[in-house]
Every structure is written in structure tokens, then in C-alpha cells.
Structure 1
Amino acid sequence: MIQIGLTGWGDHPDVYNSSSSKKEKLIDYSAHFPIVELDATFYAIQPERNIRKWIKETPDNFRFIVKAYQGVTGHHRGELPYASVDEMYNLFRLSVTPLQEAGKLAMILVQFPPWFDCTKENVEEICFVCAKLHGFDIAVEFRHQSWYSPKFQPGTLSLLKKLNVIHSVCDEPQAGQGSIPLIANTTRPDKVLVRLHGRNVAGWRNTTGDDKAWRKVRYLYNYNDTELKEIQSAVQKLKQETNEVFVIFNNNSGGHAAQNAKHFQKMLNINYESLTPKQLDFFEGEF
């Protein structure tokens, strides 16, 4: 099974009904896609009321890929807003548990930063994170190229297998050490994650010093048919090796993610059932 979705549900105007309010965006989104990457959890550990609201607004078979809190992955700057690391992990676990209990948690995505290179200390950090999140399905994504160097790639994949961790396969700009190649390998027989960040090489690096402005540029990309066919080949390979392939389009900045995902869905001849009923399919006849 190939599950296709987008990062977040707040930045995709093509999937919203014109009469819908801001609070109904997730409901509209779930009429088009069976999965979503929940990135609000990266910026703040979400209160239980938010999680339960999102559970209620989505169909029974809808699932969330929860992005781990930035304090877990090492992105957080300054002191953590918690009394201890243990408190942070405990609160994050409590926040995510209702999704797991509802059968709507596909996995927790632990995306390490570009400066997290392949060292003994960082291998130990991965083991620590996995131990703290024991009981959840975890996907690990790297951003430093050293993990996939000829010297370390076999060990990287072996480590993920040993820890029973899902491999996050990425398509992203090839812009030096802070980017990784597309390595279409699975590390578990049940799930693999594919995240498509676009190929905006010029915008991948932050040279402005303004994080907010940089993020708008970084994911500004529209995949063409040739590129989507390359990704299709990788996804079909992965499909032969694992039960479920989760594909997330993260090229949101210019509003291209939803169009790319719908086109990719058509290329694979996939029709999803049991989505939220929708009044109008905005994409009907466009492809």
C-alpha cells in the first residue's frame, strides 16, 4: 500500500472548500489524503485537547506522522522550557499517546539537524532517543551527508535495522554536507517513509540569517513529470520490500505540494477509499 499526503494541512488552498473556515482545514484536507505530517509538534508539545480535536476531525483510517519536538532532535536553541529532559520526553509521550490509542499514529519522525554528523556520540544519541520513545514506531531522518558516505552507509542502515527504526528516504537538493542523497532502502518489513522536499538547490542553505524568510524559499519547488517518474521508480522499489510506503510532499512554499501529490497519485493509479466526504473534488479533470 502506498499512502500519499502532505506536510501540515494549513498551507494547501487547493484542497479547501471556499465556504470552509480556518478551523475546518483539516476536515477538508482529509477528504483528499489519508495521511498528514503533523509538524506543529516540532515547534511545541501539543496539549491533549488539540490532539483529541484532530482525532475527532479525521476518518477512522486517517493517520498522522508526528514530527518529534525540536528539543528531542537537537534543533532547540537555548534552555529547554522544561524542568528536565525526562519531563520533556514524558510530556511528549503523553501528548502523542492518544493518537496511538486511536490507531491514528503512523510513526514519530525524528529528524536530526544538518550538523548532526556520523559520530560515535551521535550514534549513542540515536539510541538514547529510541529508548526514550520506546513503544512507538520511530522514523529517523538525517540531514548530514556523512551518514550515507560509502564508508558509513552500510552501518547507518544496519543501525536503523538493529533499533527497529523506520528509514526516512528523502528527495532533496544536493547542496553539500547538509543534504542527503535519495537512498531507496527499507529497514523494516512493514513501513518506510519517503519525504519529498523539492530540489531548490539555491534556496536550500540559509544565507539570509532570517529563518522565517529562508523556510519560505527553501521549499519553493514544483516537481516536473521527469522528476516524479524518478521518484515513482524509487517508491515502487520500496513497495516491493515493505508493506506500506508513506509518501509526504513537503514542497509547500509555492502551493505546489497538493498538485504534485495528486498528480503523483494519478501516475500510480491510486484511489483512496473511506476519506472524509467532500462536496467538490477541486482536482477533478485537471490531470
Structure 2
Amino acid sequence: MIEIGLCGWGDHSELYRDAGSAKNKLPAYAQWFRVVEVDSTFYAIQSPQTLEKWAAETPENFRFVIKAYQGMTGHARGGKGFHPYESERAMFQAFLDAIEPIRKAGKLLAVLFQYPPWFNCTRPNVNTLRTAKALMGDVPVALEFRHQSWFAPEMREKTLAFTKREGWIHTVCDEPQAGDGSIPIVEATTDDRYTLVRLHGRNTDGWVSAGQPNWRDVRYLYRYHETELAEWAERLKRLEQHTGTVCVLFNNNSGGDAADNALQLMAMLHQLPPRGSFRLPPPPKETAEQLELFD
């Protein structure tokens, strides 16, 4: 099974044209997609009441990929004093308590641990991964690296073997190839149930713009071309042969491209949104020009 969705539900205004004011966008989003990534949990551990509300607002077959809190993945260099919890264990427990309503509702696909670009392939960092996995118990967890060393030629198979052995879900990423702070596409599965795919776009200049004004607005600014999506459609079919569900999440949302690209990919895979009927996004310019040849 291939499930396609977006990172977040608040940045895709084109989905809500027919939903009135769309103050509460999650139910409207769920008419288009059956899975979503929750990013707000990265910036702060949410209240259980908030996640209980999300569970109540979505259909029974809807699933959430919930991003781990930034204190859990070491996104502050040095780490100490970064989170308001008395210990690492207390921080993890607060996160587990927060996501429990989603899990209890049977709507948790996985918790995504995205580690920062400076989290390289070293023995201390391997131990960090083991600690995080232990603290998460039996919650399904997906692993995403941002440092190239994990998938250097001599480490690729060792990293995948470790990921499988330790019980992590592999995350296949498509992102700009911009030095050590990016990883290549690693087409592989490590879990019989799930494989995560995150499509970050290929905006190299934006990818390396962290720290500059408005960098969050440009980092994922990218629209996949039809040929690129067709390549991904074939790759997803191959991954599907080795895992129960391939969960695909478009993160190129800063220009409104993610929803259009997701619907294009769904059409290529002969999928319909849950609502059953929808307006396909306009074809890319080059496709439209080709179609006019037959008018």
C-alpha cells in the first residue's frame, strides 16, 4: 500500500477553497489525504487534549506521523538546558503522554526522529539512537539522518543493518545534494510494516540558507516536474514490494507546491483522494504545450 500526504495541514490554502473560512483545516485536509505529518510537536510538546482533538476530527482510517520534539533529537548544540524537563527520561515521557490519545485511537503510524545535520556517524551518536529507541518503548519510530556520513559507501549497508536490527523504520529522503548536510536517496526498507518517504524538494540554494532571513520560506521551495514524479512512482512501487505501507510525505510546501505534487503523484498511481472526486492541478507547462499539439 502507498499512502500519500503532506507535512502539516496549515500551509496548503488551495485545499480549502470550498471549505468556507476553513478555520479548522484538519477535517478538510482529511478529505484529500489519509496521512499527515505533524510538525508542531517538533517545536513544543503539545497537550494530550490537543492530540485528542486531532484524533476526533479525523476518519477512522486516518494516520499521523508525529515529529519528535527537538529536545529529543539534539537540535540545540550542547543540549543542556535546552528543554524544560528535569531529565531526558522525563522529556520522553511527557512526549509519550502527549501522543497517547493518537495512539489509543489507533491512528499513530510512527514518530519521526529527524536528527540534525551535525549528527554524524560516530559511536556516541549510535549510542544516542539506542537510548532514544529504548525510551520510546514499543512505539513505532522512524529514523531520518541529515549527515551524509551515515550513508557513505562504506557505511550504507551497516547503517541499514543497524536500523533494521534496532527496530527503526527507514526514511527514504529526496533532498538537494549539498555536501555533508544532506543524504542521498537510499532506496531500502528496514521494517515489514512501514517505510517512510519524505520529499523535501531539490532547491540546493534554499537548502543551505539556514540562518539567513526567511530561510524557512525558501528551503523547501520546489515543484517536482512530471518526469521526477514518474521516477518516484516507480521507486515507490519497488519499495511497496518489501514493506506493508509506504508513507509518502511532501515537504516542499512553502510555495504551495506540495499539495499539487501530491495529487499529481496520486493520479500517476491511479489513486483518488478520500473525498472520491477532485480537481487535478493544472499540468506542468511543458505537458500543457504537448497536449495542445493534438488540438
TM norm. shorter chain > 0.5: yes
The 1-side partners of 2:142 and 2:186 are apart by 15
Q: Which has the higher contact order (CA 8 A, sep 6+)?
A: 1
Equivalent position of 2:202 in the other structure: 199
- 2:60 alignment partner AA: D
Contact between 1:186 and 1:192, CA under 8 Å: does it hold in 2? yes
Cα contact 1:17–1:28 (8 A) shared by 2: no
| Change in 2 beyond 3 A, CA 1:76/1:20 | farther
Distance in 2, matches of 1:20 and 1:117, equals 46
Secondary structure of 1:265's counterpart equals helix
What is the CA RMSD across the aligned residues, in angstroms?
Answer: 1.6
Q: CA 1:28/1:149 → structure 2, altered by over 3 Å: closer, same or farther?
A: same
1:15-50 deviation per Cα after TM superposition (whole angstroms, max 9, x unaligned): 114453353211110000000000111011010111
Corresponding residue pairs, total: 280
Deviation, structure 1 residue 98: 1.2
Q: Deviations over 1:152-205 (max 9, x none)?
A: 111100111111110000000001010000011000111100000000011111
**Larger deviation, residues 140-149 vs 83-92:** 83-92
Which 5+ residue runs of structure 2 have no aligned equivalent?
A: 284-295
Distance in 2 between residues matched to 1:55 and 1:21, nearest whole Å: 21
Aligned residue runs from structure 1 range 79-228, under 5 A = 79-206=82-209, 208-210=211-213, 213-228=214-229
Displacement after TM superposition at 1:232 (Å): 1.5
SS at match of 2:25: helix
Displacement of 1:233 in angstroms is 2.0
Structure 1 match to 2:290:
none
Contact 2:22 2:28 in 1 (8 A): no
1:62 is matched with which residue?
62
Q: TM-score, normalised by structure 2?
A: 0.91
Q: How does 1:263-278 map to 2 (within 5 A)?
A: 263-272=264-273, 275=274
Runs (5+) with no aligned partner, structure 1:
none
Q: 2:210 touches 2:216 (CA, 8 Å); kept in 1? A: no
Work out which of the two has the higher radius of gyration on C-alpha atoms and give 1 or 2: 2
